[in-house]
Amino acid sequence: MLTPMTVGVDQISAIRADFPALRRLRNGKPPIYFNNSCMSLRPQPVIDAITRYYAEFPTCGGGRAEGTKRLHNWFQDELRSHEVYAREAVCELLGAASADEIVWTRNTTEALNIVAHGLALEPGDEVVGCEREHNSNLVPWLEVERALRRRAGDPGLVVRRTFDLAEDQSFDIEKALAAITPNTKVLALGHASNLDGTLIADAELKRLADRIHEVGGLFVLDAAQSVPHRPVDVQALGIDFLAFSIHKMCGPTGMGALYGRMSLLASLDPWVVGGDTVADTWLDRVEYKRPPGRFEGGLQHYAGIVGTGAAIDYVTKHVGYDTIRAQELALNQRMTERIAPLQDENFWLLGPEDPERRGGVITMTSPHGALINAIEKTGDEEANIMVRKGMFCGNAYLHKRFDGVGSAANNLRASAYFYNTLEECDVFCDVVERVVKNPFDYFDDE
């Protein structure tokens, strides 16, 4: 097994001191937070930035950059400078050409909906994804399919096509390339899996971008599980649209962003329209703002936008992607070393066994829901461990793969981030080991 670059214990302790939630105690013990793929914790600088908005300049923003009639005033000027800073931070983070290519959204889900509903696909167009897309990168396209079926009067019209993963459930570039046809208008892929952490490598993304562009299609990347953990450069990789959530990278909840190449954003139909999206209106027509304003309907999550700038600074400048990668790998190596040997026909890990291929994610599954419940409950009651149980919005894939062996819903995921420690992994692994080796001691009576 690979020896990771190690991150000093002192460095992690200093980082942990920034997170007030980690100082809480229940039954004399701190939380062990392993639900980072869902939502990360927030450090004090982000909390301070959010609070500053409400305490110091709690006003509405927007407007002026478009030459519309919002007032010039003290609070708005301050908010405006924070908003510009945050949008430029996202632009720099993603290697976009201009901050105007960044649209604020509530989350990845909303960003993907803006793309799916805005592209004006026609009957006969195809959207390609893999068998394991998150519901947020599946359902919007199924809705587009439904609308096109209605329009074409053809209830059997297929718009979304799916390709399979490799044998070990990791991404298979050849299968993905083979799925792209001259009718493919959109390749919409998850960059990293929230189920098992496996990732599409940069060289593979580039090949996919080249191929989809060759047939005149667009590359949409669901980067919800990658941008919080690794650098992603949209221009170098040839990505046309990218969606991610700030709340998975130390930012305020209900904050996300959509990147779109400007020429594409300019031709994308806005999805949520009304106040703040328009340059002007008349009783019978509307003229929309140029991007990104036309996609940001209504008053925005200004506290979230201010907190976004602070979150990106914290993650990329204060901690840094190298530290994040090294710490996640060390944590996952520890968990894998201890949990992988417990596997049998009643308990196994999802995805490849090599932790280097799974980021900070380790997911265990069992045909016996009681076993998974017992791990979660024991971890919570004994050690304040927070993990995620269920289908992780990967229902379609889990049904396909596990229905019939009775375990589609019986999964438990521990997802680590840079502030987690090896000691926390050990506490979690102790619980897993005890429950898996002695399940009947832990099953509820009822």
Ligand X SMILES: Cc1ncc(COP(=O)(O)O)c(C=O)c1O
Residues forming the active site: 393
Region from 107-115, 292-300, 342-350, 378-386 binding ligand X, contact rule CB under 6 A: 107-115
Residues 249-288 that bind ligand X (CB under 6 A): 256
Beta bridge mates, 413: 363, 388
Q: DSSP H helical segments within 252-313, as ranges?
A: 262-265, 302-312
Q: Where are the alpha helices (DSSP H) in 105-232?
A: 108-118, 139-152, 173-179, 202-214
Strands 285-288 and 278-282: what pairing?
antiparallel
Range in contact with ligand X (rule: CB under 6 A) among 130-138, 263-271, 421-429, 432-440 = 130-138
Q: How many residues does the chain have?
A: 446
Q: Shortest gap between Cβ of 224 and ligand X (angstroms)? A: 4
Give the binding-site size for ligand X (rule: CB under 6 A).
Answer: 15
SS3 35: strand
The residue (of 112 and 435) whose beta carbon lies closer to ligand X is 112
Residue 108 engages ligand X in binding (rule: CB under 6 A): yes
| CB of 248 vs ligand X, minimal distance in Å | 6
> Quick one: 222 or 424, whose CB is closer to ligand X?
222
- When binding is defined by CB under 6 A, the residue of 35, 107, 323, 415 that contacts ligand X is 107
Minimum separation from the CB atom of position 257 to ligand X (A):
11
By the rule CB under 6 A, 328 interacts with ligand X: no
Tell me whether residue 37 or residue 420 sits nearer to ligand X (CB atom): 37
Q: Sheet holding 411-415: strands in order across?
A: 348-349, 361-365, 411-415, 388-389
The set of residues, in sequence order, having a beta carbon less than 8 Å from that of 5 and lying 6+ positions away, is 322, 326
Site residues for ligand X, 290-309, by CB under 6 A, read none
In the region spanning residues 329 to 368, those forming contacts with ligand X, defined by CB under 6 A, are none
Token pair listed for 439: 């399940």
For the CB of residue 199, give the shortest distance to ligand X in the complex, in Å.
11
Task: Output the smallest distance, CB 46 to ligand X, in A.
Answer: 16
225 binding ligand X? (CB under 6 A):
yes
Measure the CA–CA gap between 417 and 101, rounded to whole angstroms.
28
Residues 180-219 that bind ligand X (CB under 6 A): 190, 194
Q: Nearest-5° angle of CA 270, CA 276, CA 277?
A: 20
332-343 core/surface letters (b: 16 or more CB in 10 A; e: else) = bbbbbebbeebe
Query: What is the bridge-based pairing of β-strands 388-389 and 218-222?
Result: unpaired
Q: Which of residues 227-256 bind ligand X (CB under 6 A)?
A: 245, 256
Residues that bind ligand X (CB under 6 A): 37-38, 107-109, 134, 136-137, 190, 194, 222, 224-225, 245, 256
